[in-house]
Structure 1
């Protein structure tokens, strides 16, 4: 077997333009590949370490499997808490096509999915963005929103003041004007779109702070014990999940459902909205809440776009 090419983070960043990736994800949600539920294995003394296995198959294109590890205790290390590798195979022959830097692929497709949701669910004219979190995904969210949505104001918040300052400075160096904010509640009250990318186990966004018409994007919580928003917000919002798995695994949904504050049957699925099978936002006063846990179809769509551009003459 010949050596398998490895597409590193710089290649992923260079060959996956935001707008094209958003369009690829839209198509993948409307016409999805074969993608069984994500396998999640918890381990470690505290049970807070995770191995995630995310396969997907496009019979006319690629087979892809993403292997992800999450170590919350190591969130401060370079690159953050998450490590990942994506394996791409030719669906017709089974031959390996490429190994892809997993964190870079994940960051870009996660940000693109959030921006696609905002395009679909945020009220027209939404122009003030708040990003809560200072990790790599939060940085990618700012970059994708800046290019595709073009908000007139971008605020960034972090638990550590110096981290928010550093991210705002890094974005400014890339030509993206962003301002660090200290008071999260005050920033939420000023925002049209709130995007949260953390590993929090306690709510950060409170319903009492959210104005009518706001779009909330919850990216980080992917286990039943993780929360980024409180029950009051869940009870007020029109909730849209990226897939049915979020109803089983995401604490921002499982906990208010268990408490009887959210009717599981009324949670909408993103693919149904994109395909026109159900409506999303109905008026400018509704609060919309998009809960993503990440789907294998997103990784596969990103990998197929990446390889097509990498192999283009």
Structure 2
């Protein structure tokens, strides 16, 4: 498996890593991460915790955004996720608990050769009124051979890097490499991360259009990105923007489709991120029927997320129309067969992606990721 290390101050890629990592730190400080109020829950005085392993007390590190400033890039995250898909297919398990309006979601994955991990995220509805974060969480990563906890990684931090990293890996495989025009639907934190991630993976992008149901929100995000030397502008007319785009990345909370297949021109790549429940979808039937369809993981997308579950149930598409997932694509399955293909990638997430991402973040923080790896015993 490839290992990726990024050091600030040594190359253009490293400088981009510093910009991306520092932006994550700013998002935490501004308390806008993932659209909810969050606080940094890793404090310097409690960064190392002890646990017993036989008669020996070992230490488990806690990793937050301040540990990664200047050490992570979107290219490195995409590389880590790609490398993770060359390992045996992950075993997955989810658990969802509720107590009135409060929830706890735990997602686990085990990947032979990489390790296993659990990301647990709580949502406590009353916290907002108390001035406390309503969403909090952490991911525990375990050594593959010994089962020892290697690190506790801030949950929202893993989600941040995982979500856009998943999308740009799909685009790196499926989009035309000469793509110059990107359209982003949405104006939240995910949309902003997508602008940075796509610019890192596709440095030739010369135009990034931002559309949102709130034109003011789109204009605000475009202005913020422009202030960071990213060629962004608001797009008031969605149909016109779709017709001009080489890549479309949609990160909305819509239930009814907002993207119509009749608007697309040949050669477009569509990255669908927003839908995550059985009722949500962003693209209409026509778009899916015109495209070569791919997902990040069949197990997490086909029957749980409305983006494909709804058209599968209606007969608009069949399971055989979904040509493959990231495991297939990284194994050499043909994605784009020509410059006029329309390709669709549904980003559905999953604990295996969290684990691949967290594993890279641990290594980027300068910590060993495996007791059995000779490199990590040095």
Q: TM-score range by the shorter chain?
A: 0.7 to 0.9
Shift of 1:57: 2.3
Query: How far apart in 2 are the matches of 1:5 and 1:134?
Result: 34
Kindly indicate whether residue 74 of structure 2 is the aligned counterpart of residue 57 of structure 1.
Answer: no
- Pick the aligned partner of 2:345 from 290, 294, 308: 290
TM-score under structure 1 length normalisation: 0.87
Choose which of 66, 73, 77 in structure 2 pairs with 1:21: 77
1:173-252 alignment runs, 5 A limit:
173-244=227-298, 245-252=300-307
Distance 2:229 2:120 in 1: 33
Moved more, 192-201 or 3-12: 3-12
> Under a length normalisation based on structure 2, what TM-score does the superposition of the two structures give?
0.73
What secondary structure, in the 3-state scheme, does the structure 2 residue paired with 1:311 have? Answer: coil
Quote how far apart the aligned CAs of 1:235 are: 1.5
Q: Give the unaligned 5+ runs of structure 2.
A: 1-48, 51-58, 368-377
Query: Would you say 1:157 and 2:208 are equivalent positions?
Result: no
Q: Specify whether residues 132 and 293 from structure 1 end up closer, same or farther in structure 2 by C-alpha distance, changes over 3 A only.
A: same
Residues 163, 11 of structure 1: alpha-carbon distance in 2 compared, 3 angstrom cutoff: farther
Cα distance between partner residues in 1 of 2:94 and 2:124: 18
Let me know the Cα RMSD of the aligned residues.
Answer: 2.7
Shift of 1:252: 1.3
State the 1:8 CA deviation.
Answer: 1.7
Aligned partners of 1:29 and 1:297 also within 8 Å = no
Closer, same or farther: CA 82–159 of 1 in aligned 2, 3 Å? farther
Q: Residue 87 of structure 2 contacts residue 113 of structure 2 at CA under 8 Å; is this kept in 1?
A: no
Rg larger for: 2
Contact 1:22 1:116 survives alignment (8 Å): yes
Give yes or no for contact 2:87–2:111 (8 Å, CA) kept in 1. Answer: no
Segments of 5+ residues of structure 1 without an aligned counterpart are none
Q: 1:118 to 1:235 in 2, by over 3 A?
A: same
Does the aligned pair in 2 maintain the 1:198–1:219 contact within 8 Å? yes
Say whether the 8 Å CA contact 1:32–1:297 is kept in structure 2: no
SS at match of 2:303: helix
What CA distance in whole angstroms lies between the structure 1 residues aligned with 2:336 and 2:158? 29
Higher relative contact order, structure no. (Cα contacts within 8 Å, ≥ 6 residues apart): 1
